[in-house]
Structure 1
Amino acid sequence: MRIAITPSLSLDDAELSFTYILASGPGGQNVNKVATAAQLRFDAAGSPSLPDRVRTRVLELAGSRATREGVIVITARNYRTQQQNREDATQRLVELLRQAAHRQAYRVPTRPGRAARQRRLDGKAHRAGIKQGRSKQFDS
């Protein structure tokens, strides 16, 4: 099965590996007995699904969640069931990949047009006239 990231990018769910660990937090004695926290591992450096641009960006965005080998590790322990934590970890990885796949819009530097320059000068002249009117008038 494939996980859709963007319309042009998707991941094979076989690239994700999950392990379950004991979680802290709510659950009473159940927390001590059942491994409900999900730890997702995704080998971003070796993934055939990611273009090079997205690969480098996602490893940069992952920060301390990425290992030296380029494996992203996400631990989800917000919920009391393995399934909910698994879905939470997957969703967090998808959001990270979407953020990495988003391309910044290239800003084309422009100059103010002739009318804008004229409006600016008119405003300055108007302001100067107001200030000129505040000065003392000397009658000779």
Structure 2
Amino acid sequence: MISELKINPEELHSEVVFQTARSGGKGGQNVNKVETKVELRLNIPNSQILSDEQKEFLSRKLANKLTNEGVLILYHQTERSQLANKEKVIQKFDRLIREAFVVRRRRRATRPTLASKRRRIQAKKQRSDTKKMRRKPPRE
């Protein structure tokens, strides 16, 4: 099921909208004059490329990164040039979309081995002995 949902992030680049703004990153006086911050927006519900199942899946996986309207917003502002920030935000977007479709393996519950139980008990005894040695000797 999930393999059918996978999509290449580059296919979505045509639906991505970029906006620029002044950023607070490094750049000295340049920061106050040039719009180097790049904001990437993808409207998932209105996407023509994504199927309904893919839209639903992405909306669930990226729920904490979406606006109330279902728009994914990412931005980058640490570089001095707008072009460098645009490249970085595209890389961030591609990685996010790829990771959204990665299915995590469920952890299989296992029991501790006999050797690990013995090591644990041995460590506890050693710690106990160390603390016993710190006590004042009993009075007679």
TM-score normalised to the size of structure 2?
0.62
Flag the structure with larger Rg: 1
Paired with 1:100 and 1:12, the residues of 2 have a C-alpha distance of 14
Structure with more contact order per residue of length (Cα contacts < 8 Å, sep ≥ 6): 2
Paired with 2:39 and 2:7, the residues of 1 have a C-alpha distance of 27
SS in 1 for 2:62: helix
In the alignment, residue 102 of structure 2 is paired with which amino acid? H
Question: Are the counterparts in 2 of residues 75 and 89 from structure 1 also a CA contact under 8 Å?
Answer: yes
Determine what percentage of the aligned residue pairs are the same residue. 29
Paired with 2:96 and 2:81, the residues of 1 have a C-alpha distance of 23
In the alignment, residue 35 of structure 1 is paired with which amino acid? E
Shift of 1:55: 2.9
In the alignment, residue 8 of structure 2 is paired with which amino acid? L
In the alignment, residue 88 of structure 1 is paired with which amino acid? K
Shift of 1:43: 1.0
In the alignment, residue 72 of structure 2 is paired with which amino acid? I
Paired with 2:21 and 2:7, the residues of 1 have a C-alpha distance of 34
Pairwise CA RMSD? 3.1
Shift of 1:8: 5.2
Distance 1:78 1:62, change over 3 A: farther
Q: Can you give the 5+ residue segments of structure 1 that lack an aligned partner in the other structure? A: 1-6, 110-119, 124-140
Question: Are the counterparts in 1 of residues 36 and 80 from structure 2 also a CA contact under 8 Å?
Answer: yes
Shift of 1:69: 1.1
